[in-house]
Structures are given as C-alpha cells and as structure tokens.
C-alpha cells in the first residue's frame, strides 16, 4: 500500500507571524504538525525545533521495525522536549516557550500517532470522520478524572488551557496510539487554527467534496478556516492510504 500526502500551513488572518510548523515525507510515510506557544518569537522557535527534531531523529534512524515504533517516537519526543526545554532555560527572553505536536507515522499495516497538546489527528474512513486524539486541556483532564475538578474553580485556569506541551517541563508525557490502516482511509493532522474555525461536520463535508485530490482538500480546508475568520495560524496535513 502506498501513502499519498499533502500539507499546507498559513498565517491566518489575525496573527502577525506563523507559529505553526509542518513537515511531511510521503516516501517514508511520516508527517508532523506543531503549533508553537509562548510569545511571538518563542512559539515559532519551539514549533520549528519540534518539527526539525522529529525529522532529524527519523532520518538518523535505521529501518524502524513494527515493535520499535513506539520506543522510537517516545525517545524522539524526549530528545525534542529536552531541546525546547533547554532553549527556554538558556534564553530567559524565551522562557515558557513550548509547542503542541501531532506526528503521524505509517509502519507496516499500522498507523501510529504521537500526540501532545491540542493539535488534532482525525481518521476519515468511508465518508465518516473520527477524532483519534484527546486534546490535552484542563477540561478534558477534569472530565477524565486526571485533574481535580477544583482546578476549574481557579479563575486563572480556563478549560481550554493546555495541560501538556513539548518543552514546558523537563519531561514530556505523550500519547501514542495505533490503528490498522485500510485502503481509502485519509488521516488528517491539524493545528487548532483549523478546528477552532470549522466544526467536524464541515471538515468531513470538505473532505467528501475534494477527497480525491489531497492538495485541493488541504487548500479547501485552509480557505474555509480563513473564510470563517482565520483567528489563528492554520496547518493541515493529509495522508491517504492508496490501494483501493
């Protein structure tokens, strides 16, 4: 089975710079979306460090066997986290920088998704859309009993506040999930600049309309998010499993 990929990143309509970063390699079946946080410059640096770090780790690795994917992703994110965290420590003007990260990796007949933060990865299969990742924010963590409900009483903490991000602390806990791939499936990874502007049904409708052409689908999603206001940077990565 072959993998086709397409991706776009855009500053949006309100922001003065693009703190999102994107990398994908169709030949190797890997793609990364990162959304930087922590000041104008800091966010940009953080997301670039994340995307470059994952890319370098992947290119430097030998062939990754099925059972090695999870340790590889965990180790790559550990290294990237140390780099971003160290950068913040060594450059006080960028203190507090960090980044979300969604990395999608095809290996054998499985698809692996490594996820930190509130960027998202979806599966579009047979005309239906499923969110694969859990947003790492206070609201979800309270809902799942991972953070005490009293946290929401604190006016400084909003439900959408991030609980996890790459580079915020010395160690970064990430979610790694796996799913069996099937011909015709489309995987969508995106920053919250897309999902804060379009609801899931709008995303599904656009994929249904343009699904045959990945590049057109990515552009259509980006344009729709900008048409809806484009309040944040927008990054879209699409990967389709060919063979049907």
Partner 1 sequence: MPRAKLYLVRRDLEAFTGPVTAAELSKLIERMAVGLRDEVTGHCGPWIFLDDRDKLKKFYSELLPIVQAASVSGWSTDANEFRNEPTVKGPIILAKKKPDRRLILAAAFFGLAVFAAMVAWMFAGSGELSSRIIGSQIPPASELTALLQTGGEKEFVAVIQPQLPRIIDRVNRNHDFMAAWLPFLRAYAFFGPGEIDGFSSKKLRGESGVAAPADCSVKAWTKRWHDALPSFNSVALGGALPSDHWARLLAWDPHWINRRSQSGWIRPRNFYQGCVMAAVRAFDSIPGGFPADGVRARLAVLSAALENPGKAQEDGSTGKANGSTKATAFGLWTCMDLARSRTELDQCLEAPWQNLMQSDYNREKFYWSMLRLAVKARSTGDQSSWPLLRNDLQAFISGRDQSDSYTRMDYSDELHFVGAIKGVLPAVMDTTPPPSGPVKSFNEDIQIDLAH
Tell me which residue has tokens 């804060």.
196
Tokens read off for 195: 């999902």
Residue nearer to partner 1 on the CB measure, 48 or 137: 137
Selected from 1, 8, 57, 129, the binder of partner 1 by CB under 8 A is 129
How many residues touch partner 1 under the rule CB under 8 A: the total is 44
Q: Does 125 bind partner 1 (CB under 8 A)?
A: yes
Rounded (5°) CA angle 225-84-28: 65
Site for partner 1 in 179-208 (CB under 8 A): 179-180, 199-201, 204
End-to-end, the C-alpha distance of the chain in Å comes to 9
Assign 179 to helix, strand or coil: strand
Kindly give, in sequence order, each residue whose CB lies less than 8 Å from that of residue 239, ignoring residues fewer than 6 positions away. 3, 4, 5, 24, 29, 31, 104, 106, 186, 187, 189
Kindly give, in sequence order, each residue whose CB lies less than 8 Å from that of residue 213, ignoring residues fewer than 6 positions away. none
Q: Does 128 bind partner 1 (CB under 8 A)?
A: yes
Residue nearer to partner 1 on the CB measure, 1 or 176: 176
Assign 192 to helix, strand or coil: helix
- Other C-beta atoms lying within 10 Å of the C-beta of residue 152: 15
Q: Does 153 bind partner 1 (CB under 8 A)?
A: no
Q: Does 94 bind partner 1 (CB under 8 A)?
A: no
Residue nearer to partner 1 on the CB measure, 57 or 157: 157
Q: Does 68 bind partner 1 (CB under 8 A)?
A: no
Q: Does 240 bind partner 1 (CB under 8 A)?
A: no
Q: What is the DSSP letter of 211?
A: T
Cβ 27 to partner 1 shortest distance, Å: 25
What are the residues binding partner 1 (CB under 8 A)?
74, 78, 89, 96, 123, 125-132, 134, 138, 141, 145-147, 151, 156-158, 161-165, 168-173, 175-180, 199-201, 204
């Amino acid at each position: 089975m072959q993998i086709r990929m397409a991706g776009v990143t855009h500053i949006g309509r309100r922001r003065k710079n693009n703190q999102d970063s994107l990398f994908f390699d169709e030949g190797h079946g890997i793609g990364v979306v990162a959304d930087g946080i922590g000041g104008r410059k800091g966010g940009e640096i953080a997301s670039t460090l994340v995307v470059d770090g994952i890319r370098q780790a992947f290119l430097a690795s030998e062939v990754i066997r099925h059972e090695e994917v999870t340790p590889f992703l965990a180790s790559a994110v550990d290294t990237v986290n140390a780099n971003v965290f160290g950068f913040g420590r060594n450059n006080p003007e960028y203190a507090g920088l960090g980044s979300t990260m969604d990395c999608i990796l095809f290996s054998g007949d499985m698809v692996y998704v490594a996820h930190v933060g509130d960027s998202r990865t979806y599966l579009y299969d047979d005309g239906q859309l499923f969110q694969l990742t859990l947003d790492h924010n206070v609201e979800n963590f309270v809902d799942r009993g991972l953070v005490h409900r009293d946290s929401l009483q604190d006016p400084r903490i909003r439900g959408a506040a991030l609980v996890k991000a790459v580079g915020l602390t010395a160690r970064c806990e990430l979610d790694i999930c796996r799913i069996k791939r099937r011909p015709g499936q489309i995987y969508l990874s995106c920053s919250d600049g897309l999902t804060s502007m379009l609801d899931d049904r709008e995303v599904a409708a656009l994929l249904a309309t343009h699904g045959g052409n990945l590049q057109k689908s990515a552009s259509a999603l980006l344009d729709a998010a900008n048409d809806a206001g484009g309040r944040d940077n927008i990054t879209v990565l699409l990967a389709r499993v060919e063979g049907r």
